[in-house]
Chain A
Amino acid sequence: MILDNNKRNPSSITPSEITPREIFENRRQFIKNAGLGLAAGALSTSLLSQAATVVGGDTKGDGVLIGRANAKKQVAKTGNTQKLPAFKKTSYGADEKLTKYEDVTTYNNYYEFGTDKSDPAIHSTLFKPRPWTISIEGEVKKAKTISIEDFLKLAPLEERIYRMRCVEGWSMVIPWVGLPLASLVKWAEPTGNAKYIEFISANDTLTMPGVRVPVLDWPYVEGLRMDEATHPLTLLAVGLYGEVLPNQNGAPVRLVTPWKYGFKGAKSIVKIRFVEKMPVTTWVKAGPSEYGFYANVNPFVDHPRWTQSSEKRIGAGLFAGRIKTKMFNGYDEVGQMYAGLDLRKHF
């Protein structure tokens, strides 16, 4: 058998012998990465791609060159400028200075499209946010699939200007358009057993190149406690800057919880599951000592890698310095939900 593999009758291959597609593709990606690194050598690869950027060409190499400045050209080419249906303005963040659209759409952490900040803008062009359905599951009376069109009818759309603080120590101010998660929760009619909500993101190997690499345990999973989920601040966003949400920002629908670090905002949500036990979220699985379930913005609890007491505001420029980070990112109204909870332990 082993000696003469080529002459095997295909029907004699048992299903257990066939390598699952994802594993096969991951392996190929790994071999590709390793081969690149060893054969071409990191030096020459990096030098070439940096040199290419100097000359002004778009570098196609992944990961080797840090911070490509060319993503914004890509966004200018393929930018999603569809208008949203009518939405009402709100007073949230009315006094904030907005982060430029260009920065909001070219500086993203969305590992399903790659780990570089510019990857999502460049590599999300094949992703199809329509047609889309969200599957509502678990401890609810209406355990069914809802289309994005019906979802949009659950409540009037509103614009909310929120600060977004990333765990890496930077922040933005983004004018989201969406509807409160509370309206979906009310519609779904959770049972008494529903204590938490789990959000599961899209995981499409064909259109999301990042999920072919096992950087994280795909699909991306996030979660909220029921009171957090129904808090008036919690938003399911479908747009930003009055336009349909671009792919790189989590189209067609994503979670926004402005008092928590940005990674809590699950993108391209396909499943919303009402559960009794605290969900094990992707980043908690990836590094339990670094990321917690709550992930509330907290300047007093330092991350092992990043100082959390201050942050850089995106778009403020090269010489702007840092601004002090506020508890709950300045959204003090959420504080009462955590009364009696040791936030040093439950970070």
Chain B
Amino acid sequence: MFAQRIFYAKWIIWVFALLPITRLVWFGINDDLTANPVEFVERSTGTWALVFLLLSLSMTPIRLITKQVWQIQLRRLLGLWMFFYACLHLTTYVWLDYGFMWQDIVKDIIKHPYVIVGFSAYLLTIPLVITSNNTMIKRLKSKWKTLHQSVYLISILAILHFWWLVKKDVTEPFYYASVLVILLGIRVYFFLKKVNKQV
């Protein structure tokens, strides 16, 4: 029964995850990417990377609250889609925004804190992607879990990246930060509950 449920859930995720990129291509064809198309693509891909990051972080809280475990198997797929959109985001920045002007890119990364924070989050994601397959999970054993806990740092860096790039109105990053606080808060709550029980 669970196998079927996972199968359908994965289908839904695939369709859902392909929508944002399809939409961008559609807008591109119809010349509808606003007056500043590069910024639009940059922000859209960045937003969706963040959405998939937060979705992948929601699977454990769902387990803690509902005591159901099957959805944990969706985590990898959601995480990989996050990486997909993060790659598009970075490609947009390097290619469409900066046209491979490496000198300017290096200067931009070093000089502007929000760029360096976002770039670090991206780099930290790479080891997680490489070790996301079953072989690596088996090989790394308990180290795998420790390594993949860096996703908490990545999520905080991603939010910080968003928060700092906004000129003045932080309403939008505030929404995403609130979700992250809730997702991490649920973990902390259940962790403390467990500790208290053991005492």
A contacts, CB < 8 Å to B = 33, 36-38, 41-43, 45-47, 50-51, 53-54, 63-64, 66-69, 71, 100, 102-103, 106-107, 111, 115, 117-118, 168, 170, 213, 215-216, 286, 302, 304-307, 309-310, 312, 314-315, 317-319, 321-322
Say what secondary structure dominates the interface of chain B: helix
Q: Does B87 contact A (CB under 8 A)?
A: no
Most buried by A among B39, B44, B98, B174: B39
Interchain CB contact under 8 A, B108 and A318: no
Q: Does B54 contact A (CB under 8 A)?
A: yes
Interchain CB contact under 8 A, B111 and A321: no
Interchain CB contact under 8 A, A322 and B99: yes
- 4 tightest Cβ-Cβ pairs between the two chains A and B: A42-B175, A107-B35, A321-B99, A103-B35
| Interface residue ranges of B58-100 to A (CB < 8 Å) | 96-99
Interchain CB contact under 8 A, B34 and A318: no
Binary flags per residue of B133-165, CB closer than 8 Å to A gives 1, else 0: 000000000000000000000000000000011
| Interface residue ranges of B1-57 to A (CB < 8 Å) | 19-20, 23, 27-28, 32-41, 43-44, 47, 51, 54-55
Interchain CB contact under 8 A, B36 and A117: yes
Interchain CB contact under 8 A, B39 and A67: yes
| Interface residue ranges of B80-135 to A (CB < 8 Å) | 96-99, 101, 104, 107-108, 111-114
Interchain CB contact under 8 A, B35 and A106: yes
Chain B interface residue count, CB cutoff 8 Å, equals 46
Given contacts A46-B51, A307-B107, A318-B38, contact A69 B33 (CB under 8 A): yes
Interchain CB contact under 8 A, B34 and A111: no
Please name 22 pairs of A and B residues whose Cβ atoms are closer than 8 Å in the assembled complex, sorted by A: A37-B175, A42-B178, A43-B51, A43-B54, A43-B55, A43-B179, A46-B175, A63-B171, A64-B171, A66-B172, A67-B39, A69-B40, A71-B34, A103-B35, A111-B169, A115-B169, A305-B167, A307-B104, A309-B104, A312-B39, A318-B96, A322-B104
Most buried by A among B23, B34, B41: B34
Given contacts A46-B51, A47-B51, contact A106 B168 (CB under 8 A): no
A100–B101 Cα distance when bound, in Å, is 27
Q: Which residue of B lies closest to A45 (CB)?
A: B175
Which residues on B sit within 8 Å (CB–CB) of A315? 35
B contacts, CB < 8 Å to A = 19-20, 23, 27-28, 32-41, 43-44, 47, 51, 54-55, 96-99, 101, 104, 107-108, 111-114, 164-165, 167-169, 171-172, 174-176, 178-179, 182
- The answer, among B38, B43, B108, for a CB contact under 8 Å with A312, is B38
Which residues on B sit within 8 Å (CB–CB) of A47? 51
Given contacts A43-B54, A53-B23, A318-B28, contact A305 B104 (CB under 8 A): no
Interchain CB contact under 8 A, A168 and B41: no
A168–B108 Cα distance when bound, in Å, is 13
Which residues on B sit within 8 Å (CB–CB) of A43? 51, 54-55, 179
A54–B41 Cα distance when bound, in Å, is 15
Interchain CB contact under 8 A, A286 and B112: no
A51–B172 Cα distance when bound, in Å, is 17
A278–B94 Cα distance when bound, in Å, is 41
Interchain CB contact under 8 A, B34 and A54: no
A332–B79 Cα distance when bound, in Å, is 51
- The answer, among B43, B168, B169, for a CB contact under 8 Å with A67, is B43
- The answer, among A305, A309, A310, A314, for a CB contact under 8 Å with B35, is A314
Which residues on B sit within 8 Å (CB–CB) of A69? 27, 32-34, 40
For residue B106, give the distance in angstroms from its CB to the closest CB of chain A.
Answer: 11
Interchain CB contact under 8 A, A307 and B108: yes
- The answer, among B27, B40, B44, B114, for a CB contact under 8 Å with A305, is B114
Given contacts A43-B179, A51-B19, contact A317 B98 (CB under 8 A): no
Which residues on B sit within 8 Å (CB–CB) of A321? 98-99, 101
A216–B27 Cα distance when bound, in Å, is 33
A102–B31 Cα distance when bound, in Å, is 12
For residue A146, give the distance in angstroms from its CB to the closest CB of chain B.
Answer: 32
For residue B26, give the distance in angstroms from its CB to the closest CB of chain A.
Answer: 8
For residue B118, give the distance in angstroms from its CB to the closest CB of chain A.
Answer: 12
Interchain CB contact under 8 A, A63 and B34: no
- The answer, among A33, A71, A318, for a CB contact under 8 Å with B171, is A33
A38-B178, A118-B34 given; name 7 further pairs at CB < 8 Å: A37-B174, A43-B55, A66-B47, A69-B34, A106-B34, A307-B104, A312-B39
